[in-house]
Structure 1
């Protein structure tokens, strides 16, 4: 009997493949010292509470709040990165929970400030700006704050809402611990007959296997676990949706969707425009699915057949070191300065590379104004992980350029803008790979990868967006979010998206239970809008249009210094109409035609 391959313990991972968090705090003791100081600062800031400002007190309060927020962010990101590296480590779980509690207390202590500022008359604020020149740097902050005036409560109610923040996080926290640590997945076989312990990371790789029996076993075994816990997971999702709807109601929004989009000043028509346009082009997805069925020579196409490469094993594969080199070559079109920062990321352990026991699944870029932008990976040696690396590096470079070109108050960027930087990198990589090979097999594989990426990012994420909106609407209408309701709707939605060219296996009804982004409050649609916008941006960049490249770097530097849609207009894209989406589907069809011509 072959030996079961198990994930390494965190302590067994080579140091060079882990992120270096000593740039945040040298030791955990330094963290504890800062934590104690921060707790005192929370009390001090709360005592600043006032009903009257002049220019000097407004500026000094802003600076005191900024100091506190920067320290809370730094503590929180350190604890969350420590915790995510090993979710089974109770010490770091406790540390992260304490930071969540501290952040909630800080938020509560600051709850008086914005309602107090909103009591300032327009004339008085103009006078303060003229008296204190440093306040001019906060002009957009004040504009944004006053635009939300109808949705900011009085100080007492703001404090109550803020103090409940840690409680509101409970559904998401329970889901995270359960799916990353407590769920036990079975052992399955890989292509070589080796027994491997199933995990979300391993599952993704096995679903790309050219051996159909491997794909089928991984698919069925994974969903056996989620089916077993579907009622519990429906309860956690229901709790999260209730939180979103409650917060929206308290702030006088008509829906959680309006509230979530309002945070980024995104009109709801952008959301609906995405869903309508994608549904308009579902026949393209159906066509691609049928082509996939034909090329794989299948009598029946199943959901577990949607991710395997159409042309067998990849003709190109990368280990992590090779992937770094290829990333630098592909992204060099963005200029020397951009590449210098990519090398800084690669050479200074900003990346946690390999999967280990208890490590959070998936991939992300994280960090705050006073830290490096860190990347979490669960590396597998395949083309998809090369794309993941450049994707997350896009996020990290966005963060780097923002924090090094904007003051703290504008040193972050909206979620709506975030996915554009990452997917632009992906499109640049696709163009680079297609241009730098004469090998027809490689071209076919990369085209297949692009089409699959488009399917997974625009079609699939919009499918998720429809499901998410359905769940929020049902809960708002008073309909309980049971496992049966969620599964029935998801199953029918999946059938509509993929058409009659694929069998909607019964297991797919439970896919909603394994999607962590449903706990992120109307987040997923931005993957789709971001990918579509990235196609427009990358067209100019890949044509080596220096003006387009300069505008793109300008977008990366903008942070939150302007409203997201305005930032994109400066970058050259108006996202209030569907032109950028129409262009994306045009590119999809062109590359689908190109693939068909090659075969």
Structure 2
């Protein structure tokens, strides 16, 4: 059992990912960077000449070659740096790769606009050629987006404003991450600590209510003092979204956003309506929290404290792997065999070491196996993290194995499905394996909190975004006070049973996702799809499993709604959300019986 943070060279190789599968030596990356530059020079030659089938095919093949090589270099370089962010050689390598990546995007930027100018019926005829089979979805996208592409002169003007358009997001990031300074609060030992974003996330879960309250009030004291600055920054971000949508001939900023995934606006609206219609389930959960915590009233700073302290159990990494493999057994022998081989075959970087990037993620480059970064600390939460990242990795593994490069990448809309499904299967397995009521309540609390924060909270965020963008589109003058009023009213509706305070009206001011408009709803839809698919696999047998495995192997060969529909979940209807909420209600009922 590892109890102290060791240096990287003290960690056994079996606990480190094997980047040698891509490059035996970092110096080899520079050889590929030189090769990419050569390919870019060749690609430049297609500019202004994309006017016949053979030339377009050659350009597509060359773009795939250079794209794939660029992806390999970038993936390797960022993982090498993530091993140790203080490694100057790795930092220099990543800088060289990033620099070429910028040049790469600039050099190839002519390609899609030139294809857009062509008669789409001609491109469609080219797509019938068997040599274009890997590019048929790409060509379909050209036709779908054509009506929203402007003239050359207009496109150049919009492109020139790209950096200015990104200003609200950049300003918020700098303000939020560098300039905002919080004061001191007292910790559980009554010792003063400097409040930071990271410490807030820990303190808000403290068993000591005064610690939670103090951290909460201090955080929002600072955001209140910057309310007008952050408010104007966000308002300008909303105005930018609405302006771009109008210029590109969309009916709304929401439509412009969902169009990218070929998702009807009705999917977004269905999510909000279905959650609103069933919000009483959240109110029941709030009452349950109040009962378990034995509080006369529940405040917003009481929502994150665990109902059960983390289990005393500690797990070795080998034990975690064994639990995950057993927990995912319903996914079939082949899935388990592939995952087991990967977890033992250089996919995973397990332990925290000095300078290593925090958190967890899964990544990969086409043509090579996926990778998982962990900072394993032997807790049950780390076991769930392994299952989660394994879901991403296997989605990537099967997509890359079964799809050509052009169709191998899946979209954000479906990105969290495989990972969340794994966590749901693991929860079910662990609940079946224990007779300890405390452990059962811990597991159910973990799961219920996922529902609350991913389905209910993200939907509330999505509704806030919808309202504020509609206000601008209707000519209403947004102000920081109006943002606070809208946000406060939403919290009042969603969190009925919680005693409201003025501080929560400012929460919108600290949410970075709002600067990527209409993004957060995908967390809620993805979670709902995962729950529906997991339930289907547990009750539907081999047919449901076969459809799900086909989904994992589909990458981005079709639009996300279609891929999920083929897997057995129709996100164009409210049913997956309703079924997800039924699971929430069932788990809440189980939890209430344990208290």
Number of the residue aligned with 1:53: 51
**SS of residue paired to 1:53:** coil
Alignment of 1:116-131 (within 5 A): 116-121=114-119, 124-125=122-123, 127-129=125-127
Given candidates 184, 190, 201, the residue that maps to 1:204 is 201
**SS of residue paired to 2:590:** helix
Q: CA deviation at 1:129?
A: 4.3
8 Å Cα contact 1:180/1:359 also seen in 2: no
Number of residue pairs the alignment of both structures matches: 590
Q: CA deviation at 1:413?
A: 0.9
Given candidates 511, 514, 537, the residue that maps to 1:515 is 511
Alignment of 1:300-379 (within 5 A): 300-314=297-311, 318=315, 322-343=319-340, 344-345=342-343, 348=346, 350-351=348-349, 354=352, 359=357, 363-370=360-367, 372-375=369-372
Given candidates 534, 539, 556, the residue that maps to 2:535 is 539
8 Å Cα contact 1:87/1:359 also seen in 2: yes
Distance 1:157 1:196, change over 3 A: same
Number of the residue aligned with 1:3: none
Given candidates 453, 458, 472, the residue that maps to 2:455 is 458
Question: Which consecutive unaligned segments of at least 5 residues does structure 2 have?
Answer: none
Segment drifting more, 525-534 vs 307-316: 307-316
Distance 1:61 1:466, change over 3 A: same
Number of the residue aligned with 1:472: 469
1:110 aligns with 2:112: no
Tell me how far apart the structure 2 counterparts of residues 490 and 435 of structure 1 sit (CA, whole Å): 40
Tell me how far apart the structure 1 counterparts of residues 157 and 476 of structure 2 sit (CA, whole Å): 27
Distance 1:492 1:15, change over 3 A: farther
Distance 1:237 1:359, change over 3 A: farther
**SS of residue paired to 1:365:** strand
Tell me how far apart the structure 1 counterparts of residues 35 and 483 of structure 2 sit (CA, whole Å): 46
Q: CA deviation at 1:542?
A: 2.5
Given candidates 256, 259, 274, the residue that maps to 1:259 is 256
8 Å Cα contact 2:5/2:352 also seen in 1: no
Distance 1:354 1:473, change over 3 A: farther
Cα RMSD after superposing both structures: 3.8
Given candidates 413, 416, 433, the residue that maps to 1:419 is 416
Tell me how far apart the structure 2 counterparts of residues 58 and 526 of structure 1 sit (CA, whole Å): 34
1:429 aligns with 2:437: no
8 Å Cα contact 1:273/1:578 also seen in 2: yes
8 Å Cα contact 1:45/1:65 also seen in 2: yes
Q: CA deviation at 1:298?
A: 0.4
Q: CA deviation at 1:149?
A: 1.7
Number of the residue aligned with 1:4: none
Distance 1:56 1:184, change over 3 A: same
Distance 1:93 1:532, change over 3 A: same
Q: CA deviation at 1:89?
A: 8.8
Given candidates 560, 567, 579, the residue that maps to 2:563 is 567
8 Å Cα contact 1:25/1:31 also seen in 2: yes
8 Å Cα contact 1:324/1:346 also seen in 2: no
Number of the residue aligned with 1:586: 582
Alignment of 1:379-394 (within 5 A): 382-394=379-391
8 Å Cα contact 1:318/1:382 also seen in 2: yes
Q: CA deviation at 1:585?
A: 1.6
**SS of residue paired to 2:466:** helix
Deviations 1:39-90 (A, max 9, x none): 5544542331235533321210101122232233344445555677788999
Number of the residue aligned with 1:71: 69
8 Å Cα contact 2:182/2:222 also seen in 1: yes
8 Å Cα contact 1:238/1:481 also seen in 2: yes
Alignment of 1:162-241 (within 5 A): 168-169=165-166, 171-173=168-170, 175-176=172-173, 179=176, 191=188, 199-227=196-224, 229-230=226-227, 233-234=230-231, 237-238=234-235, 240-241=237-238
Deviations 1:27-50 (A, max 9, x none): 665445544553554454233123
Deviations 1:415-435 (A, max 9, x none): 111122221112111111111
How does the TM-score come out when normalised to structure 2? 0.85
Tell me how far apart the structure 1 counterparts of residues 508 and 7 of structure 2 sit (CA, whole Å): 29
**SS of residue paired to 1:449:** helix
Tell me how far apart the structure 1 counterparts of residues 5 and 235 of structure 2 sit (CA, whole Å): 34
How does the TM-score come out when normalised to structure 1? 0.85
**SS of residue paired to 1:64:** helix
Segment drifting more, 516-525 vs 372-381: 372-381
8 Å Cα contact 2:8/2:354 also seen in 1: no
Number of the residue aligned with 1:396: 393
Tell me how far apart the structure 2 counterparts of residues 357 and 177 of structure 1 sit (CA, whole Å): 23
Number of the residue aligned with 1:153: 150
Segment drifting more, 89-98 vs 456-465: 89-98
Q: CA deviation at 1:461?
A: 0.8
